[in-house]
Amino acid sequence: MQIISDRRALHRIPELDRALPKTMEYLKTSLEALKCQVFSPAEGAVCAFFDFGKSSAIAFRSDMDALPIQENTRLEFASGHPGRMHACGHDGHMAIALELARRLDKKQSLAHNVLLVFQPAEETTGGARDLCASGIFKKYKVCAIFGLHLWPGLTAGVIASRKEEMMSRSCEVKVDIYGKSAHIAKAKEGIDAMAAGCEFYRRVMAMESALPKKVFRLLKFGKFESGTVCNAISGHTHMEGSLRAFQDDVFYTLRAGIVSIGKDIERATGCSVSIFMNDGYPAVMNPAGLYDKAMRAAPFRELELPSMITEDFSWYQKQLPGLFFFLGTGDTPALHADDFNFDENILVKGADFFEKLAENFQ
């Protein structure tokens, strides 16, 4: 099948961020053979517009970039670029969108025009923002945008989504606590950054736990380093973690609480506390009205719980109605694993689903 051939060809040429010359060439060559307008509205991006003579359009998005991972799948079509791999399924996403393009090329009429968006830099700086800033959605009168992601753990070939909370907002949390090192025999001459770090951690975890259980959020630390030797008071503690939530008020309340606890620790211990938190991606929130319209057009399974993983598809949802889906890969290695692979036959399920949306969405 051509969809599998596309996936394998793209899997061989993984590229990073916005530097995607081979990927762009493959996509453009495939699309330019069809009855559509092919163009690049932003660095590393490729778009295809299918004009059915309607006053509005719907869009379908595929991400393009790979990861800086050395592949360990031993596939015949494994990455030909050392240290780079399509370990997040973006090769599959592109193959689905190309198959959709071939099917659109054969159609005489649809209720909407269709814009296909191949987006760079999902794994790095959020290339979706570049596409939003380019003005293409206004120019082509796009009324809704759809996207999907291959999803390990979900039954192979199943399309699923949920209303409202779908994928979380996130930010990195980095904390540096500076005290004063001293020999343990003269501990009173030091300021214990390790003890301050432990107290900071305890209080932050207590703050997060105090929120109602029904509020979807996550605040965890995965790195804690302090001290240099066994017989000296630690002069520096470094912590790194992640904050994830869906509602902005929850997200910013937790951020403010982290800062406030840091100031309290400074006053109580004499340490200085430096906290860095980046902005990250917004949450993917699926509008209920759009969800219901899509369900009528192309039925799919409803997910019980949202994911705490992030996705820059959320930037599109800040500009226009957007709906995100998962396409199950079944029992496969995790996304971003160096041996990630899947049954390629599921890609047809994704193309079938997008085709139904294109045909029936009103």
Query: Which tens digits make up the pLDDT trace of 212-260?
Result: 988 999 999 999 999 999 999 999 999 999 999 999 999 999 999 999 9
Please provide the size of the chain in residues. Answer: 362
> What six digits make up the tokens of 10?
């793209």
Q: How many whole angstroms separate alpha carbon 27 and alpha carbon 91?
A: 11
SS3 of 177-199: EECECCEHHHHHHCECHHHHHHH
Element spanning 109, H or E: none
Same topology, domains 2-167+283-360 and 169-277? Answer is no
Of 273, 245, 238, 271, nearest to 258 by C-alpha is 273
pLDDT score recorded for residue 280 = 84
pLDDT score recorded for residue 308 = 96
What type of residue is 243? L
Residue 276 clears pLDDT 90, i.e. is over it: yes
Q: How many whole angstroms separate alpha carbon 356 and alpha carbon 53?
A: 19
* Torsion-angle region of 250 (φ positive above 0: left; ψ -120 to 50: alpha; else: beta): alpha
Q: How many whole angstroms separate alpha carbon 204 and alpha carbon 207?
A: 5
Q: How many whole angstroms separate alpha carbon 166 and alpha carbon 181?
A: 46
What average pLDDT does range 41-45 have in this prediction?
A: 98
Predicted TM-score (pTM) of the model is: 0.94
Q: How many whole angstroms separate alpha carbon 256 and alpha carbon 170?
A: 15
Residue 122 vs residues 62, 88, 114, 208: alpha-carbon distances, Å: 10, 10, 22, 29
What average pLDDT does range 23-40 have in this prediction?
A: 98
Of 289, 278, 323, nearest to 166 by C-alpha is 323
Assign a CATH topology to domain 169-277: Alpha-Beta Plaits (3.30.70)
Residue 49 vs residues 7, 150, 310, 324: alpha-carbon distances, Å: 22, 24, 28, 20
What average pLDDT does range 157-186 have in this prediction?
A: 97
Domain 2-167+283-360 has CATH 3.40.630.10: yes
What average pLDDT does range 194-199 have in this prediction?
A: 98
Contact present, 23 and 86 (Cβ < 8 Å)? no
Mapped onto helix, strand or coil, the DSSP state of residue 289 is helix
* Residue carrying structure tokens 């959605």: 137
Dmax (CA) of the chain: 85
Residue 262 clears pLDDT 90, i.e. is over it: yes
Domain boundaries in the chain?
A: 2-167+283-360, 169-277
Cα first-last separation, the chain: 30
> What six digits make up the tokens of 31?
């699309």
Residue 279 clears pLDDT 90, i.e. is over it: no
pLDDT tens readout for residues 51-88: 999 999 999 999 999 999 999 999 999 999 999 999 99
Element spanning 167, H or E: strand 164-167
Of 329, 304, 327, 204, nearest to 263 by C-alpha is 204
Backbone φ and ψ for 94, nearest 5 degrees, come out as -65, -40
What type of residue is 270? G
Residue 119 clears pLDDT 90, i.e. is over it: yes
> What six digits make up the tokens of 78?
């494994």
CB within 8 Å of 11: residues ≥ 6 apart:
75, 77, 78, 79, 86, 91
Mean pLDDT over each residue of the chain, to the nearest integer: 97
Backbone φ and ψ for 124, nearest 5 degrees, come out as -120, -85
What average pLDDT does range 317-341 have in this prediction?
A: 98
